[in-house]
Structure 1
Amino acid sequence: MTKTYVSRFTHHVSRITFHVSRFTFLLPILFFILFYFYPLGAIFKLSFAPAGGLDTSALAKLVRNSHYLRVLWFTTWQAAVSTLLTIALALPGAYIFARYDFAGKAAIKAVSTLPFVLPTVVVANAFTALLGPRGLLNGWLMAWFNLPHPPIQLTHTIWIILLAHIFYNYSVALRIISSYWQNLPPDLEHAAKMLGASPAQAFWRVTVPLLKPAIVAASMLVFIFCFTSFGVVLILGGAKFATIEVEIYRQAVNLFNLPVAATLSLIQIGFTFGLMWLYTRTQSNMARPAKLKSSRTLQRTVRTATDRRIVGGNLALMLLMLATPLLALVLRSLWGENGFTLAFYRELFINRRGSLFFVPPAEAVFNSTAIALTTVIFAVVLGSIIVLMLTDARSRRARW
């Protein structure tokens, strides 16, 4: 009798657990329906059926108007140039992190990630504080050489956009390439040198082909970030420059031309999906390189003067690119007309204009933290459920 009750109870618990698990697995699906497929369907409807029937006038307008073709061309070539410059500058840094072991290496590599997670507004203010008409560099040059006008005019030019993109994406390329490079054995490179190849020839004909999966993967990811750039181009580039995302913002907010904005959004989504598919393919190539070795057995300490020049020069370049804009921002916040001051920080707590939109700093920090924590919780929960679903599906296919 007792065994019967126990078996029934176990059966009921298993059924309840089964139904709960099924409901749990529905959560990611509902999330994608509400926050992905529904908005995407609304964009399709607004693009091709704004009045209820089929209407391709917005798409025809994009094709006929050369302005939108220029926007697409600018979006593409600025992303390509930004990617080339970022990879070219990241390769020497990746080399020292892959082949040398020096003091503070882990800390420097961790700190180098900071620019990538900074908000766009902060980065724009940092570059303005360093290179703007009233920035630190122009102020020093005007004072030293008694110049009447700022000698460096980079604001609202393509150059400051490219510099900001390098600032943002340098750490991405550095991490991807150095993580792959540090496990590649240098045997083939050494063999090429023994056979008479110069260091440059050995690098371009042996090392670069071996690094190709990492270079391609880093290039694709950086290109995606630059192709979808919004805040950097909008704030630093001004009205002269517009990527697809900036044009979407201008059409939707300034002109209230929602069908054209929605059609541009579909084009942006199509490009992004295609680029992410290519990036995923390159990532799969990185996952199976030949004959990897432990990075500890391949790295050497800094001993000779040449080693010190190589490591020191690359670290100095990283400091120049990544630290100087942030240091300029800090100095500008502490330096007024009469020297050192904390007046700008005190102004954060004063609502001089009586604005209804004024938010005290403590409340702003609390809001940002609360939103971030809520986002993390939702992302971890939904991501974990999706991982369980995929794992369960693979195990079932394996049993079959």
Structure 2
Amino acid sequence: MQINLAKKKKEELSYHPFNPIYPENIDPDRSIIDQIKEEDKLLFFPFESMDPYLQLLKEASNDPEVISIKITIYRLASISKVAEYLANAAENGKEVVALMELRARFDESNNIDWSERLEEAGCTIIYGFEDFKVHSKITLITRHHEGKIEYISQFGTGNYNEKTAKMYTDLSLMTADKDFGLDSQKFFTNMMISNLSGDYDKLLVAPNGIKNTLINLIDEEITRKNNGEEALIRLKCNSITERDVIDALARASRAGVKVKLSVRGICCLIPGVKGKTDNIEVTSVIGRYLEHPRIYIFGPNERAKVYIGSSDLMTRNLVRRVEICVPVLDEKLKKKVIKILDTIMDKNNRIAILNSDSSYTHLNPNKDSCQEIFIREATLEKNRIESRKAEKETLSKANLSSSEKGKKSYR
């Protein structure tokens, strides 16, 4: 009786189990490289699975047209398919370059171990910089296809870690855009020669390229507001401590620009201060997963500039680390990111809001958080996929049965 009661109580106090779904817009039975060449793909962990990215690495490691795979590594799982596929690629004669950050907090020993194992497999390991941690999340696959060079680039907000991809919320963009590929190639070349001052067409790369660009984008919204246009800034990060960014957001607030922030941890910006930050709202997600994406959106939806990346709005990230933020250019994926962030910031859901006295108010405690909404949407998507699969199998069996009857009739 006591055991049953304890079990019941445990179930009541536990979240319902959820497994990430394989995205509806990616066919697991087709080449993932071909699908990325057709259109950009964006994964939203842990509601969508990391498997398409793993499939990309696995396919690239065995693809005779792939020349090289280059990647930055901050944290790997203790048992890592990412490392397995990189080693396999090297053993298959491809150039594999891994920029390994050995100073990832709490993962120093694991990263040293993996760097040695990857080096033994034939990978080239670069160990980063003495004064700058490499925290960027980028993979570059280079192919020689029909006499031309092709690039598949991946940019993430989180680590290449199969374990945390089921516990952290993150975004992962995969693209065959040539400009992204050329920028990515330039990035790895610069890293290999210890050049932190490279110029890029599309990538924003810290320590020199993210902070000023973000402040310029904030100032653009101020200018638009002063010209009588609608202006809006929506930012999501783990922490915000950088003084110059905070000052820029306060300027935007004083100009009448609506500023909405979703901040998981440290927030040195105090919202709701009369005459200074009246137009700034700061919320924080409540849920089972660790919030980890960095999303930066400037402007209302019809003209929004959307960026995702590895960098928080902290001095350490913006000036003392190698970070990457990228624009989301595909219109369909821009809408996906905007919808994600708007759901995260929706005060009709269960959410925490930061007050001007630095306390938090828990809103709608009996409602679902955004994470539960994302789980529900993913479950509906999974049901649609399974329903279509069942219909396809039923139709296939019916056609087979009809074919067999036709053969018997012919005999």
Q: Mark the structure with the bigger radius of gyration.
A: 1
Higher relative contact order (CA 8 A, sep 6+): 1
Q: State the TM-score, normalizing by the size of structure 1.
A: 0.22
